[in-house]
Structure 1
Amino acid sequence: MSELMKPSQRPGGDSARAGETLLQIRGLEKHFPLSGDFLEQLHFEGGKLKRRQEFVHAINGVDIDVKRGETLCVVGESGCGKSTVARMVMGLLHPSAGEIRYDGQRIDDLSPRQLLPYRRRMQMIFQNPYASLNPRMSIQQTLEEPLRFHHPDWNPQQILDKIAEVMASVGIDPEWGKRFGHEFSGGQRQRIAIARALAVEPEFIVADEPISALDVSIQAQVLNLLMDAQQTHHLTYLFITHDLAVVEHFGTRVVVMYLGRICEVAETRSLFDSPRHPYTQALLSAIPRLEDEKPEHIKLSGEVPTPVKLPSGCVFHGRCPHAFERCRREIPQLIEAQGSQVACHGVEEGRI
C-alpha cells in the first residue's frame, strides 16, 4: 500500500466553521421485523390465539455528533450496525426511533420532496463499485443524471464541462465518458462513483466501506483521492469501515460499535494510544504489528449474541473479563473519561 497522508497533514473543511456540529444523531434505533405480516404473526399457544412478533435489533440507542470538516470513522465487526446507521443518515432506511438533524434541521421525518435540498448537500459512496454503477448507462450518462436533476437550469455545455472537470479531478480521462462500467477496473469504478458524488458539490459524504472491495494495491490511491477531495471541496466524511489500519491514518475521530450500541468515541490518536473500553482494547490488540513490544493479544470468550434477543444490561457483558452484576442488569451510558466518551460501568467505577 502506498503512503497515506496523516490527518494532521491535511486540513479538512471550512476553517471558519470547522468544529461546528454538522450532523447530530440522538437515540437512533432500527428494528427489522422477522415475523412477516399480521396473519403470519398469529399462533395458537395453549389453545389460545396469540400474536408473536420478532425483530432484529440492529441499532439500539445511538448518539453521534459529526463536526464540520472532520472524518468520523465508525468501526466494529460485521453485523454491529455500521452500515445501517449510514443508510438511515442518507434516508435509505427510516429509523424506528430517534432523531437525525443536519445543520440544525431534523431530516428523518421529512417527505421525499422536503428532502430534495439535502440530497445535493449529502452524498453517499457505496461499498461495491461493481454494483453501484448502472451497467446500462455510460459513464457520461451516470454523471449527467444527478447534474440534470439538481441543476435543471444548466445548458448541455455546462453539464459537459462539469463532467469533464470531476472526471479529471479523480484521475479518469474525460475521453472515456462514452465507455460503460464493465470496461473499468474496480479501482476505476470507485473513482467514478466518487466523481458522481462530487459532481453536485456536496458538503457531507457518507462513505460505506468504499475500499473493502478493492485490491490492497489501489486502496491507498482511493483513500488519498478522498483526502484530496476533502481538502479541495471542504468536505465532511462519515466513514464506515472495519479496517483499523485505514482508520489510524484517515480518521479524525473514531466511534466503536458493538451489537448496535456505541462503546467508545475518541480522537483517533487517543483511541489507538490508550483505548478505554474492554471491547476497544480487544479490537485493537488484534491488529498485526511488527514492533517487538506489541500489546498482548486479548482473546474474548464466547460468541457475539444474536441481535434478535439482545442480552440484558451491557451487550458486551457476556464476553467481557471485567463484567460485574451491574453490567448484567444495567445498560451503560456514554460518560466522559480522559477526553474520550466510554459506555462502561467498569470505567465509570474505576475498575478498568
Structure 2
Amino acid sequence: MTHVANVPASAVTATTSGGQATSPSALLEIHELTKRFSLSGDFLEQLRFKGGRLVRHQEHVHAINGVSLDIRRGEALCVVGESGCGKSTVARIVMGLLSPSSGEIRYDGQRIDHLSARQLLPYRKRMQMIFQNPYASLNPRMTIQQTLEEPLRLHHPDWSRERVRDKVVEVMTSVGIDPDWGKRFGHEFSGGQRQRIAIARALAVDPEFIVADEPISALDVSIQAQVLNLLMDAQQRHDLTYLFITHDLAVVEHFGTRVAVMYLGTVCEVAPTATLFASPRHPYTQALMSAIPRLEDDRPQHIRLSGEVPTPVNLPSGCVFHARCPHANERCRREVPSLIAREDGTKVACHGVEEGRL
C-alpha cells in the first residue's frame, strides 16, 4: 500500500485578508459553503394566493449547509456519507461546475469561487476531476486519442503535434492502456478500461489537485482494487492531492489520509483515517463505523438508528442529526453545533462531545 505522509495538525496558521485562520500547508480551503437549489420554478410559478393576497412562495433544497474543510498538500481527504448528503455537490462546486449560494473557496491562497470561466482557466490545468460514471464521462463521438489530446491542445496551444502525441502515449502507458488503442472509441472498452482512460485524461495536463467523485463505485469489485491502486500510484509519482468522494468505508480505510463525514449537507466529523476508525466521536460516525462487517469477536455491536433521514427541503432546527441521535437533548434540538477542533487533531460538530457527555 502506498503511504501518504500526514501533515501535522498543529501546523502554524496564517490569516487571510478576510480574517479567517488558514494553514499555510493547505492547498484548498472551503469556508462556510452553502448551496441551495430552487424547487419553485420561475417568478410567475412562485406566485400564490393566500388569505386573499398574492404572495411569493419559494422552496429550496438545502444541499450544503455551512461546510468548512481544508485539504493539505499531498494528502487524500476522503468525504463520506450516505446518498444525498451533499458530497458530490461539494466536489462540483470546488471544480466550478456549480456556483455556491454563499461561502468561499480558496486555492493556494487565492479565492476562486467568484471567478468567471475565463478567469478560472489557469486553475483548470492545476485542478482536474474524475467522474463517477466512465460510461457517461467520455465523449462517444471522439476516439481515445482525440479525448486525451483535447485538454493538451486547450492548455498548451503552443505544443507541436508530435509533442502532444508523445504526451498522450506517456499517459496511456502510465495507466496501463495500450497506446495502439487510441484509434478506438469509448464504447469498445470495458468499464475499468474506460475509467483508466478518464484517469489518463485527468493526468494529461500534469495537475496537482484531483477531485475523484466516486471513481470506482460503477465498476465491478474485481476491477475496483486495480483502479484504486492506480490512483495511489499516480499520487506517489506525481505528488497529487486528492479530494476523494466515496460511500465505501473500506476504500476510505485503504486510501484516505484524513476523513470528513457528512450528514444532510453538514460536516459531522473530520479526523485522520486511523483515528476515525479506532475511536469515532460523533454519534453518526459511530453508527457508520459499527455497520462495517468485521470478523473480530469483540467488535462493537451494530448501532441501529431510529427514524428516517430528514428532507433537505425542510431542514430540522438545531443539529440536523438530533431526530435520530440517542444522545440528543434540548440544546441539540435548538442550537446548531459548530465544528470544534480537539487536541488530538480531530474536529467534531456535536454538543454531546463538547459538553463531555460522549
> Which category of TM-score, normalised to the shorter sequence, fits these structures?
over 0.9
Asked if 1:248 is matched to 2:253, the reply is: yes
Q: Classify 1:185/1:153 alpha carbon distance in 2 versus 1 (closer, same or farther; 3 Å).
A: same
CA distance in 1, matches of 2:266, 2:166: 45
User: Contact between 2:35 and 2:100, CA under 8 Å: does it hold in 1?
Assistant: yes
User: Contact between 1:73 and 1:254, CA under 8 Å: does it hold in 2?
Assistant: yes
Q: Classify 1:45/1:198 alpha carbon distance in 2 versus 1 (closer, same or farther; 3 Å).
A: same
User: Contact between 2:213 and 2:244, CA under 8 Å: does it hold in 1?
Assistant: yes
CA distance in 2, matches of 1:192, 1:108: 29
> Which residue is equivalent to 1:109?
114
Q: Alignment partner of 1:193: what SS?
A: helix
Q: Deviations over 1:187-245 (max 9, x none)?
A: 00000000000000000000000000000001010010000100101100000000000
Asked if 1:341 is matched to 2:347, the reply is: yes
Shift of 1:345: 0.2
Q: Alignment partner of 1:264: what SS?
A: strand
> Which residue is equivalent to 2:149?
144
Asked if 1:291 is matched to 2:319, the reply is: no
Shift of 1:292: 1.5
> Which residue is equivalent to 1:197?
202
Q: Alignment partner of 2:28: what SS?
A: strand
Q: Alignment partner of 1:59: what SS?
A: strand
Shift of 1:111: 1.0
> Which residue is equivalent to 2:19?
none
CA distance in 1, matches of 2:122, 2:187: 32
User: Contact between 1:332 and 1:344, CA under 8 Å: does it hold in 2?
Assistant: yes
> Which residue is equivalent to 1:154?
159
Asked if 1:222 is matched to 2:248, the reply is: no
CA distance in 1, matches of 2:45, 2:165: 53
> Which residue is equivalent to 1:258?
263
Shift of 1:335: 1.1
Pick one of 44, 51, 64 that aligns with 1:59: 64
CA distance in 2, matches of 1:168, 1:12: 30
Gaps of 5+ in 1: none
Structure 2 letter corresponding to 1:339: G
Gaps of 5+ in 2: 8-22
Shift of 1:270: 0.1
> Which residue is equivalent to 1:124?
129
Q: Deviations over 1:4-58 (max 9, x none)?
A: x1x5x35599xxxx98100000010000000000000000011110000000000
User: Contact between 1:12 and 1:230, CA under 8 Å: does it hold in 2?
Assistant: no
In angstroms, what is the RMSD of aligned CA positions?
A: 1.3
The aligned runs of 1:171-190 (5 Å cut-off) are: 171-190=176-195
Structure 1 letter corresponding to 2:338: Q
Q: Alignment partner of 2:302: what SS?
A: coil
Choose between structure 1 and 2 for higher RCO, CA contacts under 8 A separated by at least 6 residues: 1
CA distance in 2, matches of 1:157, 1:101: 36
Structure 2 letter corresponding to 1:68: R
User: Contact between 1:19 and 1:68, CA under 8 Å: does it hold in 2?
Assistant: no
Which structure 1 residue ranges, 4+ long, deviate > 2 Å from structure 2?
Answer: 9-13, 336-339
User: Contact between 1:203 and 1:235, CA under 8 Å: does it hold in 2?
Assistant: yes
CA distance in 1, matches of 2:216, 2:95: 19
Shift of 1:336: 2.2
Superposition TM-score, scaled by structure 1 size? 0.96
> Which residue is equivalent to 1:84?
89
User: Contact between 1:28 and 1:59, CA under 8 Å: does it hold in 2?
Assistant: yes
